[in-house]
Chain A
Amino acid sequence: DTGVSQDPRHKITKRGQNVTFRCDPISEHNRLYWYRQTLGQGPEFLTYFQNEAQLEKSRLLSDRFSAERPKGSFSTLEIQRTEQGDSAMYLCASSPTGQGPDTQYFGPGTRLTVL
């Protein structure tokens, strides 16, 4: 399967714990995005990487959230001191470099439940 993959698919944690999610984009895609989706809402943009550079961060990304893409390939999203409000689906998407809008391909998501 050459699509976007995410790991784990599900994560249940207790409030206050740290969690880390991984995203492997489509291999030739330079751009990588993280979104968060809660029930009944559309995905909300969190952050964007072009290669290893994090070029944009949403105000939704509080100090407890950090994302990395150290080698310009896979990316990790860490949430420190999780809160119940962090419970959501975390979606990763990738797209190839190009001018103008490009199709973003989404991974299956990591569903986080904070107890």
Chain B
Amino acid sequence: RKEVEQDPGPFNVPEGATVAFNCTYSNSASQSFFWYRQDCRKEPKLLMSVYSSGNEDGRFTAQLNRASQYISLLIRDSKLSDSATYLCVAFILTGGGNKLTFGTGTQLKVEL
């Protein structure tokens, strides 16, 4: 079983739609969580951190449920420019340092 699991999609949605991505993690020692965005053939870029209290950044809302080991990302009023792969990431502080564990990513395609 992968440490971080995501539905690979693709999610095809019309412009203006609201779309939600889910992610589960298996390692209860995971301390922090992030969503990264990756455009086709580009490097991943941090989209936002995820907190238990939930956090919002413009049209994006992230939520963490530690009891269920579940992370979500909600995108409201989706734009064509939101089309990308969204990577769910868990952070573990290991004996040697920091380690990010990435999910396989969920592909989003926003269409006219």
Contacts and interface: CB of A to CB of B under 8 A. Distances in A.
B81 interface: no
Contact of A106 (B44, B96, B104): B44
Interface in B31-80: 31-32, 34, 42-46, 49
Given A48-B97, A55-B97, A100-B31, A91 B104 contact: no
A56 B87 CA distance: 23
A43 B102 contact: yes
A33 B45 CA distance: 15
A107 interface: yes
Contact of B43 (A31, A41, A91): A91
Contacts of B105: 41-42
Given A101-B31, A107-B43, A108-B43, A42 B103 contact: yes
Interface in A28-58: 31, 33, 35, 40-45, 48, 50, 55-56
Which range contains the number of B residues in contact with the other chain? Answer: 20 to 34
B87 A42 contact: yes
Contacts of B42: 108
Contacts of B94: 56
B8, B43, B105 — which one has the most chain A CB atoms within 10 A of its CB? B43
Contacts of B45: 106
Contact of A43 (B34, B44, B49, B93): B44
A27 B1 CA distance: 37
A41 B97 contact: no
19 contacts: A31-B98, A42-B89, A42-B103, A42-B104, A45-B99, A48-B98, A55-B97, A56-B94, A56-B96, A56-B97, A100-B31, A100-B93, A101-B34, A102-B98, A106-B43, A106-B44, A107-B43, A108-B42, A109-B43
Interface of A: 31, 33, 35, 40-45, 48, 50, 55-56, 91, 95, 100-109
